[in-house]
Amino acid sequence: MAEMFQIQASACDALGSRFYGVLLQRIAKDILADGPSAAVLAGHEDDPGPSALALRLMGAVHYLVLTGEAPDLAAHFPSVGGDGDPVRTWPALRDLFRSAPLELAAGLHHAPQTNEPGRSAALFGALLQVAGPDPLPVRLFEIGASGGLNLRADRFCYRSADGHR
């Protein structure tokens, strides 16, 4: 199980999500040390890799952040205005494993929304309209379905058939 978390951590790092990459590495170490994350994940030791256990856990964590049930953790989650510092996030996340194991374990039964950037095409089209001749300020809010990709709309672009951006 720890190896699956390490693999997902590497994937997150490679895809530009240092925040989740660092947290998933810490969880992998905590699993190996039989820490509080191991208790939350008990019963899922044999889940296959494609079941996305690491992402299901982070989805359950993010849900508690979004609903206000994890305010100490929210202080660090960028999706709710937190500082985005994964090192400072870890103690609060570890505390959440101790204080809300049943809530987190319940969240493991929900399949994660995959982070397919192609789903951002509709958002991109809307942003192009807003950024027309009289651009308006835009603030994007993540509700959890895109794993934060839609919050990075300024980092991706559209190329037309003739190669223009």
Phi, then psi, of 53 in degrees rounded to 5: -55, -45
- Two tokens at 31? 């699993």
Task: Compute the radius of gyration of the chain from its Cα atoms.
Answer: 17
State both tokens at 127. Answer: 């942003």
With respect to residue 83, please indicate whether it lies within any of the assigned structural domains. yes
Does residue 19 fall inside a structural domain? yes
- Tell me if 162 is assigned to some domain: no
Task: Give the mean model confidence (pLDDT) for residues 120-130.
Answer: 76
pLDDT digits (tens, 9 = 90+) for 104-116: 999 998 876 655 5
Q: How far is CA 160 from CA 35, 119, 141, 143, 164, in A?
A: 50, 18, 27, 29, 5
Is the same domain home to 44 and 101? Answer: yes
Residue 19: predicted pLDDT = 95
| Residue 112 located in a structural domain | no
d(CA 146, CA 116): 7
Residue-wise pLDDT for 23-75, tens only, equals 999 999 999 999 999 999 999 998 887 888 999 999 999 999 999 999 999 99
Kindly report the number of other CB atoms within 10 A of residue 10's CB atom.
Answer: 13
Query: Looking at residue 157, what is its pLDDT?
Result: 64
> Does one domain contain both 70 and 17?
yes
In which domain, by residue range, is 32 found?
2-107
List all residues 6 or more positions away from 69 whose beta carbon is below 8 Å from its beta carbon.
Answer: 100, 103
Same domain, 19 and 78: yes
Residue 81 lies inside a defined structural domain of this protein = yes
What's the number of domains the chain is made of? 2
- 165 inside domain: no
What is the average pLDDT across 142-161?
64
Long-range (24+ apart) CB contacts under 8 A made by 74-77 are none
CB-CB contact of 17 with 25 (8 Å) = no
Q: Look at residues 107, 126, 146 and tell me which one is the last residue of a structural domain.
A: 107
Chain centre to alpha carbon of residue 38: 19
